[in-house]
Amino acid sequence: MQHVFKALVKYEDDVPGVIAYAIYKRSKIEWRTSFAALHDGAEPNAEDEAEFIAFCMLPENLISLRQRGEQIAAEFLAKSLEEKMAQVAESVTQSELSARLFLLDAGVKAGFQHIARKLDEKKSLRAWGPDIVTAFIAGLGVILAVGLLFNGYVRFAAINATAEKAVGIDLDAQQKKTAPLRK
């Protein structure tokens, strides 16, 4: 039995070889089970076991066991790498997201600090004075603009009424004629 292990496992950390040996051991257990089923429950003797081992030690069988061990090891390695890459990708994504959130947080804090500084600078009436004067002047400007617009409208309406009378259009008289009577 030791010689099958040595034939399959070439060096200390030979993972495909160890897997190939595990496949050999599983096939040996299956052979024992099928042997008992074929021979009315009789267990294989030393001669039967030697024949099985000799069959497994054939070069083509050793190559087949080794290839299956390499295939299983490669599939396991690929799956492990895939899982590890997914973890690394998630970690990188979380790291980038954390960095962006940190920068955003720093920007918001800096903005609030700037606003707080500006408000602290203007705590006295003297500091607010220029802003108050500017707002007052702007308010007067709006009132003046609205007044001029209203005044302009009134003057335009007066000019329009004078022009209508000069031409002979008396809208007031026409409206009175067509207006319904109120009861």
> Within a domain: residue 98?
no
Strand, coil or helix: 14: coil
Q: CA-to-CA distance for 160 and 149, rounded, in angstroms?
A: 16
Residue 9 belongs to some domain of the structure: yes
Measured CA to CA in angstroms, residue 74 lies from 25, 44, 71, 82, 130 at distances of: 20, 35, 5, 12, 77
Q: Return the higher-pLDDT residue of 152 and 121.
A: 152
Full residue range of the structural domain in which residue 139 is found: 130-174
Instruction: State both tokens at 65.
Output: 């066991």
Domain boundary among 53, 80, 107: 80
Last-in-domain residue among 39, 60, 80: 80
How many other CB atoms sit within 10 Å of the CB of residue 127?
13
Residue that finishes a domain, picked among 48, 80, 112: 80
Q: Please check whether residue 52 is in contact with residue 25, taking contact to mean a CB–CB distance below 8 angstroms.
A: no
**Residue 70 domain-assigned (yes or no):** yes
Identify whether 28 is part of a domain.
Answer: yes
Res 96: pLDDT: 82
Query: What does the block give as tokens for 29?
Result: 């257990």
Report the pLDDT value the prediction gives residue 20, as an integer from 0 to 100: 92
In a domain, 31, yes or no: yes
Residues 75 and 9 in one domain: yes
Q: What is the pLDDT of residue 113?
A: 86
Residue 94 lies in a domain: no
Please write the tens of the pLDDT for every residue from 165-183.
788 776 666 666 665 655 5
76 with 7, same domain?
A: yes
DSSP SS3 for 12? coil
For the chain, the domain total comes to 2
User: What integer best gives the mean pLDDT of the chain?
Assistant: 84
Q: What is the pLDDT of residue 123?
A: 66
Reported as a pLDDT band with limits 50, 70 and 90, residue 131 is confident
Predicted confidence (pLDDT) at residue 125 exceeds the cutoff of 70:
no
**Residues 86-103: what's their mean pLDDT?**
82
pLDDT in tens, 98-120: 888 888 888 888 888 888 887 77
What pLDDT, on a 0 to 100 scale, did the predictor assign at position 128? 72
Q: Are residues 73 and 7 in the same domain?
A: yes
| Residue 120 placed within a domain | no
Q: Is the pTM of this model over 0.85?
A: no
**143 pLDDT higher than 90:** yes
Residue 96 in domain: no
